[in-house]
A and B are shown apart, each in its own frame.
Chain A
Amino acid sequence: MKAGAVLRFLRWYLREVTGEGEYDKYLARHTHGTPLSRREFERRRSDQREKGSAMRCC
């Protein structure tokens, strides 16, 4: 295993786990019309969390 591959994996993993990569995925999916700005996108995403709450266990 090359160090580069591990670093690339780490970067990818952290972006996935934190949800930081969500916007880029949205841009890739969004091919018609003007996409939301990042600010607007993230705002909607965090407001979605109002509706429910993930349980945190003991």
Chain B
Amino acid sequence: MPNPGMPQPGGSRPRASLPSIVVWTLVAVVGGLAWGVIALSRGEEISAIWLVAAALGSYAIAYRFYSRFIARRVLRVDDRRATPAERLDNGVDYQPTDRRVLLGHHFAAIAGAGPLVGPVLAAQMGYLPGTIWIIVGVILAGAVQDMVTLFFSMRRDGKSLGQMVRDELGPIGGAAALIAVFAIMIILLAVLALVVVNALAESPWGTFSIAMTIPIALFMGFYLRILRPGRVMETTVIGVVLLLLAIVGGGMIQGSAWAEAFTLSPVTLVWCLVIYGFFASVLPVWMLLAPRDYLSTFMKIGTIVLLAVGVILVAPTLQNEAVTQFALNGAGPVFSGSLFPFVFITIACGALSGFHSLVSSGTTPKMIQKESQVRLIGYGAMLMESFVAVMALVAASVLDPGLYYAMNAPAGLLGTTAESASQAVANLGFTISPDDLRTTAEEIGESSVVARTGGAPTLAVGIAEILSGIFGGAAFKAFWYHFAIMFEALFILTTVDAGTRVGRFMLQDMLGNVWKPIGRVSWKPGLWGTSAAVVLAWGYFLYAGVTHPLGGINQLFPLFGIANQLLAAVALTLCTTLLIKSGRLKWAWVTGVPLAWDVAVTMTASWQKVFSTDPKIGFFAQRERYADALAEGKVLAPAKSIEDMHTVVTNSTVTGVLTAVFALLVIVIMANAAVVCVRAIRARTPLPTTETPFVESKILVPAGGVFSTGDEGREPDKVAGPS
């Protein structure tokens, strides 16, 4: 690629060459054709390949044209300007890094279980709403947010989102942002941990293989520290081999006398996770966190590639309907509420994920070599995550809908046996026989598939279905199922480790303002205390979710989605304000339109969750219904006891209050931003921003092809001549 510098003022833009015009026309035609097939096929089963083609075609066009437009016209990236990585290079956190390497790091940091879980749950609305939102959402909102946040943070030496809000909006917005980020992270960790608990509960195979990842990681840690320092690749290979053995070993444990020791109840698993989370965050990083990170990143990339190959080779047909009845009547069993707004908060990661703004401000901007690379790293990595979400939606949609609902409706609705589940699914308008449910459970090596909520088990069945079609056949289904469970649980646990640590740093930072010693990173009691506080905070919500009579995922996932999308609102508010403050009002729509959409979605969802009179949707309506019954001494199904009734009342109150608090915090930030924007528009000269001044770049970046290694043609000491 030629040097993608700024278009020369006054100069004529180079004309597109004929081959390039032909290629891009072809991409547009293929993408358009795929969308046409998806749009026009009703009542007949379509192949997943059309979804993949529509996604890839749209991504290519968006990347080539829209992201370039944003980089050049809106952000005005300038490759003559030195990036913080160049100016502040310290070989540690500030370090110019090859764009493809940084893309790998950034992608591994943003993509986790989110893009896999959300689309699976949203499949209850049919495959169409989810697909459209994932693809259109990422192009116009999600990838834009990631790229613009990355750019602004890069122009401010890699400041975090919270710091930028404080510096650019003021102390009120800053404080609100700090609290919001922390609270939102606690909910995120709790819900992710809930997915793991639901996947591992009563499953000796899954529990054994996940438990084994701890000794494997410890071994890798010691190997890297003591035996072979720095040999990350060979350590990872050893770890992955051990991991695969652990999956196979789990199958053997399942049928042995040891099975009982690894058959844990959900509540026991909660305690295991809380204790594990505490130790993971206080132990030295090299011991547990770093090796787990290597393992999980390797598994993440490997499985995603495997799944992509699987989807393309098998080209399964979708069993799911395009749009289900639940999209319109809002009575879906997986989560309540109708298509608008709930599809758009259930699928956050993959379309628009506020959490990415924490990665895009912080680690990644300190490593960018050249400004124009925000396009590949910010926009490109998010497109990749979006593709993961499309594949997750495909994996969930190739399943028989009867099976899908038998796995994803809450236990309170389905009962515990194959018979009761079959009956409940029939009541929803789908069919699956008890025998089919038992056969599926047997095939994947589990005792039951009924009410395995959380998305991970469903996705794992879908992945097993697809991968066993290429590798190993039906005999390997159980292996692939547990492989998929392992892969999801592994990187959820990595998020829990890292998230608890980040939460601890935030808490130390916040409390350090009040009482100095707590802020000191090396003061052990402060470190343990804040770690315990963070672990207990998400542990509380995890416990509440696990014991929730109405189903933890059903109740907490909307809260998680709202929290994530509200964080996106904070990031987009900041980006829009910065565009306006820097005199780019005419381009403010680039982040302003996604912001308006996101606010419409999240505020509607929050409003409904708080004020709806339908007890299935509104937390307080639900609270009232159960509290009234409780006052009369009645027990309402699916609660089974007076104690359950109390639990529902408490949980509805907590989740309802939290939803309202999140929404209010974001409203405070946006009001603060509005004031700043009005002031900026009225001012004659642009308001001061905290952008660091221009320093001329002295590094040359080789314009090598995709497969060139970083050393080729690179002359680090050569100063860029006047261009």
* Distance from B453 Cβ to chain A, minimum over Cβ atoms (Å): 17
- Closest chain-A Cβ to B152's Cβ sits at a distance in Å of 17
| Contact call A39/B229, Cβ cutoff below 8 A | yes
Chain B residues whose CB sits within 8 angstroms of the CB of A55 once the complex forms:
109, 355, 358-359, 362-363, 498-499, 502
Give the complex CA separation of A56 and B708 in angstroms.
Answer: 29
Known: A13-B100, A48-B92. 11 other contacts (CB 8 A): A9-B708, A13-B101, A17-B101, A17-B105, A46-B285, A49-B289, A51-B521, A52-B93, A54-B498, A55-B499, A58-B349
The 5 listed contacts between A and B (C-beta, < 8 Å) are: A9-B709, A20-B233, A47-B284, A55-B358, A57-B359
Measured between C-beta atoms, what is the minimum distance from A28 to chain B in Å?
A: 10
- Which of B54-62, B111-119, B434-442, B671-679 participates in binding chain A? B111-119
Docked complex Cα distance between A3 and B539 (Å): 50
Q: Are B353 and A58 in contact, CB atoms less than 8 angstroms apart?
A: yes
User: Which B residues lie within 8 Å of A8 (CB)?
Assistant: 709
Contact A58 B112 (CB under 8 A): yes
Contact of B400 with A by CB under 8 A: no
Query: Given A16-B710, A58-B564 in contact, is the A53-B498 Cβ separation under 8 Å?
Result: yes
Scan residues 88-123 of chain B and give those whose CB is less than 8 A from a CB of chain A: 91-93, 97-98, 100-101, 104-105, 109-114
Interchain CB contact (< 8 A) of B495 among A1, A6, A41, A58: A58
**Would you call B707 and A57 a contact (CB within 8 A)?**
no
Asked if A18 is at the interface (CB within 8 A of a chain B CB), the reply is yes
Minimum CB distance partner of A44 in chain B: B92
List CB contacts (< 8 Å) of A1-25 with chain B: 1, 5-6, 8-9, 12-20, 22-23
Instruction: Please give, as numbers and ranges, the residues of chain B lying within 8 Å of A58 by CB-CB distance.
Output: 112-114, 188, 192, 348-349, 353, 355, 495, 564
Residues of A near B640 (CB, < 8 A) are: none
Is the CB–CB distance between B353 and A50 below 8 Å?
Answer: no
Q: A46 contacts B101, CB within 8 Å?
A: no
Chain B residues with Cβ below 8 Å from A14 are 233
Name the residue of chain A whose CB is nearest to the CB of B705.
Answer: A1
A interface, over-half SS: helix
- Tell me if B133 counts as interface (CB < 8 A to partner A): no
Distance, CA A20 to CA B290, complexed state (A): 13
Most buried by A among B285, B494, B497, B711: B285
B349 to chain A, nearest CB (A): 5
Contacts A53-B498, A57-B114; is A6 near B230 (CB within 8 Å)?
Answer: no
Binary A-proximity of B482-524 (CB < 8 A = 1, otherwise 0)? 0000000001001101110110010000000000000001000
A32 part of interface (Cβ distance < 8 Å): no
Contact-residue bracket for chain B:
35 or more
Q: Mark A24-47, 1 if CB is under 8 A from B, else 0.
A: 001000000000001101110011
**Which residues of B have CB within 8 Å of A53?**
285, 289, 498, 501-502, 505
* Pairwise interchain contact A12-B709, C-beta atoms closer than 8 A: yes
Residue from B112, B230, B708, B711 in contact with A20 in the complex, judged by beta carbons closer than 8 Å: B230
Binding site for A on B (CB under 8 A): 91-93, 97-98, 100-101, 104-105, 109-114, 188, 192, 224-225, 229-233, 236, 284-286, 289-290, 293-294, 348-349, 353, 355-356, 358-359, 362-363, 491, 494-495, 497-499, 501-502, 505, 521, 564, 707-711
Contact B495 A57 (CB under 8 A): yes
- A residues with CB within 8 A of B: 1, 5-6, 8-9, 12-20, 22-23, 26, 38-39, 41-43, 46-58
Contact between B707 and A6 (Cβ–Cβ < 8 Å)?
yes
Contact B232 A57 (CB under 8 A): no
**A20–B236 Cα gap in the complex (Å)?**
11
Closest A residue to B281 using CB positions:
A53
Task: Kindly state the separation between the CA atoms of A39 and B708 in the bound complex, as whole angstroms.
Answer: 30
Partner of A54, one of B109, B188, B707: B109
- For A16, the chain B residues whose CB sits under 8 A away are 97-98, 101, 710
- Which residue of chain B has its CB nearest to the CB of A14? B233
Tell me which residues across on chain B come within 8 A of A26, comparing CB atoms. Answer: 91
Give every chain B residue within 8 A of A17 (Cβ-Cβ).
Answer: 101, 104-105
Known: A18-B233, A57-B495. A46 touches B290 (CB 8 A): yes
The answer to whether A20 touches B114, judged by C-beta atoms less than 8 angstroms apart, is no
B230 touches A38 (CB 8 A): yes
Q: How far is the CA of A16 from the CA of B711 in the complex (A)?
A: 11
CA distance A46 to B502 in the complex (A): 17
Closest to B522 in A: A50
Contacts of B192 in A (CB 8 A): 58
Nearest B residue to A1 by beta-carbon distance? B707
Docked CA distance A19–B497 (Å): 21
